[in-house]
Amino acid sequence: MRKGIFLLLAIFAGTFWVSGTYAQQQFPMMDKIADRVIQKYQQSSCQQLRAEGAQPKPPEMQRAVQLLREDPQMRRAFINRIAAPIANKMFECGMIP
Quick: pLDDT tens for 11-31: 555 555 555 555 456 888 889
Number of domains comprising the chain: 1
Residue 85 lies in a domain: yes
Residue 16 lies in a domain: yes
**pLDDT at 14 (0 to 100):** 57
Domain coverage including residue 23: 2-92
Distance CA 95, CA 90 (A): 5
**pLDDT at 11 (0 to 100):** 57
Q: 24 and 31 in contact (C-beta within 8 Å)?
A: yes
Residue 34 lies in a domain: yes
Identify the CA nearest to 79 among candidates 51, 38, 28, 43: 38
**pLDDT at 56 (0 to 100):** 87
Residue 97 lies in a domain: no
Quick: pLDDT tens for 32-61: 889 999 999 999 999 999 888 788 888 988
